[in-house]
Structure 1
Amino acid sequence: MSDLEQQPSGHDEPHLSFRTGWLRAAVMGANDGILSTASLIAGVAAGGGDRVAIVLAGTAGLVAGAMSMAAGEYVSVSSQSDTEAADIEREKYELEHNPESELEELVAIYEFRGLSPDLARQVAVELTEKDALGAHLRDEIGITDLSPPAPVQAAVVSALTFAVGAAAPLIVAAMAPLSGLIWWVGIATVLALALLGALGAQAGGAPKLRASARVVVWGVLAMAATSAIGAIVGTSL
């Protein structure tokens, strides 16, 4: 059990920061799935594509996007994990070979944060005696065990949420009348983005309306741009 979990408390005060790792990957994956697939479908439809071409493009976008999100998240989070591991090893070396200098670093940090020199030294000494490495990782480097990097979790969550998000406009494209397909996909996409923004805000404790509006605005702009490009290219070909 970590020090954060062991510290005594007079009351239970819920915090949502522990969700940031998987929540970021989930929201990003679902948002990209909805938006990129809907934009792709809108572009092909505006260019005069038939239903087979539209659904094929959407399906290809779903599969390629999910794999790309998984690979990107895995590589990105793995790089973060490798960097933190290197910092931990470097700090272990410094604590072993330069303990006095490391103690003075802690003292300076606590003084900078507002403690008096005597209190800063007392705190630095006591934390060093209890867990020198943990104190330096937390207060000097900013590494805590609150949300450790999880490459596999981020990759799986991103791929799954991308696929789920992409399925919404794809299903509408497969079922809606071809004559008004862009409008049907557009409406479904706006609703899906608004719902995603609200759910992400709910999970993260943020204002729902602002989060929904943010993703909807960018979604509408993306679909409008791809539809315009599709119409221009389709007319010229």
Structure 2
Amino acid sequence: MAESTGTDASDSDLPHPHEPHDTSLASRLNWLRAGVLGANDGIVSTAGLVVGVAAASTETSAILTAGVAGLTAGAISMAVGEYVSVSTQRDSEQALLAKERRELAEEPEFELAELTQIYRDKGLSEETARTVALELTAHDAFAAHAEAELRLDPGDLTNPWHAALSSAVSFTLGALLPLLAILLPPVSWRIPVTFVAVLVALAVTGSVSSRLGGSNPRRAVLRVVVGGALAMAVTYGIGQLAGVSGI
């Protein structure tokens, strides 16, 4: 790998020795946030679909068919997209790890000097940095370099199947809310109840995702609520036009 130097490396570019714990926590929070956003997608897309159909027809079977079809298609699409994305990321990570393993076998002294420099750039003295590098190398050279240089844990790479499953589940759970909200009430209350239920759910998901990401909750809630309301209003209008015209 390219040799690190004191002029091109910084604390922001290199992990702290204790960072694996922080990285693990950040990874879990990212997965949780992704799940919340997947549920949000399920809510908005299914709500827009069923509200549009309900505006055009009062037939419960038509609404149910459209809702289930939308839920199924959306969950599969989310799962496939997440699987492809994470598989690509995992392939890249494995390629980097393979390169690092090869460099350790071919140039152990250079890699030791590189690891020492990483800890020098963190503020350790030359002697302490080399001692740390030597001890980590003796314990597990590959893991030490993967962590310090690549910020990867070789034994804990993201599983694309887990990602696909969690994405499909979160989308499905989100999609179930508008589907149930429009099917359970009497015909005259279907659309109003769905609007209220969806906007409340979006406010909750917007608040949760903003807190996980450390952003402003009010702004996040406003964005998702306005976006969801707009999506339902547009599909409702299209449904009304389709129903009136007999399409």
Do Structure 1 and Structure 2 share a fold, with TM-score over 0.5?
yes
- 8 A Cα contact 2:37 2:209, kept in partner: no
- 8 A Cα contact 2:183 2:190, kept in partner: no
2:150 pairs with 1:111: no
- When structure 1 is superposed on structure 2, of 31-40 and 119-128 the one drifting more is 119-128
CA offsets 1:137-195 (integer angstroms, 9 cap, x no match)? 11111113696302222222221222121111011211334445333211111122233
CA offsets 1:115-134 (integer angstroms, 9 cap, x no match)? 33343333222222222111
- 8 A Cα contact 2:143 2:154, kept in partner: no
Residue of structure 2 equivalent to 1:83: 92
2:185 pairs with 1:163: no
How has the CA–CA distance of structure 1 residues 65 and 222 changed in structure 2, closer, same or farther, with 3 Å as cutoff? same
- 8 A Cα contact 1:18 1:147, kept in partner: no
2:148 pairs with 1:142: no
Amino acid at match of 1:89: A
2:125, 2:241 → 1: CA distance?
A: 67
Deviation at 1:196, TM superposition (A): 3.4
Residue of structure 1 equivalent to 2:57: 49
Query: When the two structures are superposed, what TM-score results if normalisation uses the length of structure 1?
Result: 0.76
> Equivalent residue of 1:149, what SS?
coil
Residue of structure 1 equivalent to 2:205: 196
Residue of structure 2 equivalent to 1:68: 77
How has the CA–CA distance of structure 1 residues 232 and 95 changed in structure 2, closer, same or farther, with 3 Å as cutoff? farther
- 8 A Cα contact 2:52 2:235, kept in partner: yes
1:95 to 104, 123, 134: 104
Residue of structure 1 equivalent to 2:26: 17
CA offsets 1:40-84 (integer angstroms, 9 cap, x no match)? 2233344x2343433322111011111112222222222222221
- 8 A Cα contact 1:194 1:215, kept in partner: yes
2:131 pairs with 1:122: yes
Residue of structure 1 equivalent to 2:190: 181
- 8 A Cα contact 1:22 1:153, kept in partner: no
1:216 to 218, 222, 225: 225
- 8 A Cα contact 2:199 2:228, kept in partner: yes
Q: Number of residue pairs matched?
A: 223
Identical positions, percent: 48
Q: Which blocks of at least 5 consecutive residues in structure 2 are unaligned?
A: 1-17
Amino acid at match of 1:38: A
Deviation at 1:197, TM superposition (A): 4.2
How has the CA–CA distance of structure 1 residues 55 and 91 changed in structure 2, closer, same or farther, with 3 Å as cutoff? same
Residue of structure 2 equivalent to 1:10: none
1:166, 1:176 → 2: CA distance?
A: 17
> Equivalent residue of 1:100, what SS?
helix
1:146, 1:225 → 2: CA distance?
A: 48
Query: When the two structures are superposed, what TM-score results if normalisation uses the length of structure 2?
Result: 0.74
Amino acid at match of 2:204: L
Q: Which blocks of at least 5 consecutive residues in structure 1 are unaligned?
A: 1-6, 8-12
